């Protein structure tokens, strides 16, 4: 690719193309009377006309989203030297007038001369459809600013799809889920031999990708990234780091691939096919259960900040179901009610719950025991005003993989609330 930087519009979001969630009917925006303003979050300058009640969610989710990108790509990403810009419009017409791609719900563009824009339509609610778009396009912006400007299109789009599927939990994201509908479609591609040969995917140019806008390309790119991150018990995690870092030298992607993963692309393709063909439905249900556990912990932390006390886990869960939990409305602590609505049913099915009282040196803990006797324990820390940390671990904790990226065992991952905004001057790293 060299140093060529065309006006590349990364639009996996065009209606009628890829990814699957982009084909969902877009919510019709409602008129808003709030004037446009710029709000500084820890990592973004957000230009928006959303009212304060909806901006609370945008503020905290954008913060957690950036931290998820940063943490999962720590093995091959650098440091951003300035705040990232994000434009979020309540009305379609304002988005399109400002330069948003026609028929899209969000887009990231650059022109090679400093023109970098992340834009999205919020519509009449902060829906999951909206957030999948923002998580996808937001990764493209992050990759351009923090990883490498000229990533091969398959891995850029594959990683964007990987993060689009990540589940927001209040103080973190849970990434790596495999939705059953996506698995079913991918297995159909493999069984019918309608996927592209791996060598074709590896050599696709941005122009070829954009011209085709093929649904299957996005699905296959996602599956390739997921396989490299989680396949064969994490075997490819370290090579993936090496591959990503070697790209920054300017070497041709295919040359780097051969050096890192070997000459036999056909054999690698077969391992990819076998992995996905043998994967069962609900293979990542444990991640959906983890997300529900993390949500409850984040809710419990905020209830504790507001002086609510619970003596049993059932008491806590019933209070959640009755919508009597007290949640702070400060920007750093506010959580949307939809989190409980979405995750409580999952939590109820995910195991037996217990509250472990706070002891010397330990905070209140939330314990879950699954039907196969696995034990998960979460805890939180506060500074008296804000939630500063949420931990989630499997007991006993699994052996860590030093240097791993997009870890295969995300249950060991802590989430830390930043206390300061980046101090580097604006620019591109």
Q: Are residues 359 and 401 in the same domain?
A: yes
Q: Are residues 330 and 253 in the same domain?
A: no
> Do 342 and 292 meet the contact criterion of CB atoms below 8 Å apart?
no
Q: Which domain holds residue 27?
A: 1-283
Number of domains the chain is built from: 2
Q: Is residue 349 part of a domain?
A: yes
Residue 327 has pLDDT above 50, yes or no: yes
Q: Is residue 221 part of a domain?
A: yes
Could you say which of 283, 316, 333 is where a domain stops? 283
> Do 325 and 299 meet the contact criterion of CB atoms below 8 Å apart?
yes
Backbone dihedral angles phi then psi of residue 387, each to the nearest 5 degrees: -75, 125
Q: Are residues 272 and 333 in the same domain?
A: no
Q: Are residues 64 and 170 in the same domain?
A: yes
In 3D space, the residue among 72, 298, 302 whose CA is nearest the CA of residue 166 turns out to be 72
Q: Are residues 60 and 186 in the same domain?
A: yes
> Do 217 and 198 meet the contact criterion of CB atoms below 8 Å apart?
no
Residue 45 Cα to chain centre, angstroms: 19
Per mean pLDDT, which range of 74-78, 239-243, 400-404 is the poorest?
400-404
Q: Are residues 112 and 2 in the same domain?
A: yes
Tens digits of residue pLDDT in 305-316: 899 999 999 999
Q: Is residue 429 part of a domain?
A: no
First to last CA, the chain: 18
Per-residue confidence band for 112, with pLDDT thresholds at 50, 70 and 90: low
Q: Are residues 279 and 368 in the same domain?
A: no
pLDDT recorded at residue 360: 74
Angle, CA of 13, 16 and 17, to the nearest 5°: 55
Q: Is residue 421 part of a domain?
A: no
> Do 384 and 307 meet the contact criterion of CB atoms below 8 Å apart?
no
Could you say which of 233, 248, 283 is where a domain stops? 283
Q: Are residues 111 and 39 in the same domain?
A: yes
Separation between Cα atoms, residue 49 and residue 97, nearest integer Å: 14
Could you say which of 283, 298, 324 is where a domain stops? 283
Backbone dihedral angles phi then psi of residue 10, each to the nearest 5 degrees: -85, 95
Q: Is residue 426 part of a domain?
A: no
Q: Is residue 22 part of a domain?
A: yes
Q: Are residues 347 and 229 in the same domain?
A: no
| pTM across the whole model | 0.85
Where residue 75 sits, what CATH number does that domain have?
1.10.390.10
Q: Are residues 269 and 336 in the same domain?
A: no
Q: Are residues 252 and 364 in the same domain?
A: no
Mean pLDDT, the chain, as a whole number?
A: 84
Separation between Cα atoms, residue 80 and residue 349, nearest integer Å: 41
Q: Are residues 95 and 131 in the same domain?
A: yes
């Amino acid at each position: 690719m060299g140093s060529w930087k065309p006006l590349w519009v990364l639009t996996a979001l065009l209606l009628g193309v890829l990814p699957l969630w982009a084909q969902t009917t877009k919510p019709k925006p409602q008129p808003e009377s709030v004037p446009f303003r710029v709000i500084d979050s820890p990592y973004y300058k957000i230009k928006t006309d959303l009212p304060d009640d909806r901006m609370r969610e945008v503020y905290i989710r954008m913060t957690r989203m950036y931290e998820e990108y940063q943490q999962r790509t720590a093995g091959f990403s650098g440091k951003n030297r300035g705040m990232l810009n994000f434009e979020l419009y309540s009305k379609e017409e304002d988005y399109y007038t400002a330069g948003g791609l026609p028929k899209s719900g969000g887009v990231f563009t650059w022109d090679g001369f400093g023109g970098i824009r992340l834009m999205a339509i919020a519509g009449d609610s902060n829906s999951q459809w909206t957030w999948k778009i923002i998580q996808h396009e937001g990764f493209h912006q992050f990759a351009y600013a923090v990883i490498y400007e000229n990533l091969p299109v398959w891995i850029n789009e594959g990683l964007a799809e990987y993060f689009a599927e990540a589940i927001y939990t209040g103080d973190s994201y849970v990434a790596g889920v495999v939705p059953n509908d996506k698995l079913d479609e991918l297995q159909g591609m493999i069984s019918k031999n309608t996927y592209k040969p791996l060598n074709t995917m590896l050599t696709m140019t941005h122009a070829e990708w954009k011209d085709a806008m093929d649904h299957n390309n996005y699905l296959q790119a996602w599956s390739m990234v997921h396989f490299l991150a989680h396949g064969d018990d994490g075997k490819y995690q370290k090579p993936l780091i090496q591959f990503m870092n070697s790209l920054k030298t300017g070497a041709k992607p295919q040359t780097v691939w051969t050096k890192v993963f070997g000459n036999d692309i056909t054999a690698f393709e077969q391992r990819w096919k076998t992995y996905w063909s043998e994967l069962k439905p609900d293979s990542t249900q444990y991640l959906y259960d983890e997300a529900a556990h993390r949500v409850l912990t984040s809710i419990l932390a905020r209830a504790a900040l507001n002086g609510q006390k619970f003596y049993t886990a059932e008491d806590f869960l019933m209070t959640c179901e009755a919508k009597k939990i007290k949640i702070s409305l400060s920007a750093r602590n506010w959580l949307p009610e939809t989190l409980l609505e979405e995750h409580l049913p999952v939590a109820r099915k995910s195991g037996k719950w217990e509250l472990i009282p706070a002891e010397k040196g330990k905070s209140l803990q939330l314990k879950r025991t699954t039907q196969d006797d696995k034990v998960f324990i979460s805890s939180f820390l506060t500074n008296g005003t804000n939630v500063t940390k949420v931990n989630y671990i499997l007991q006993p904790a699994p052996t860590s993989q030093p240097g791993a990226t997009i870890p295969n065992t995300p249950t060991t991952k802590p989430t830390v609330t930043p206390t300061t905004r980046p101090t580097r001057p604006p620019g591109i790293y």
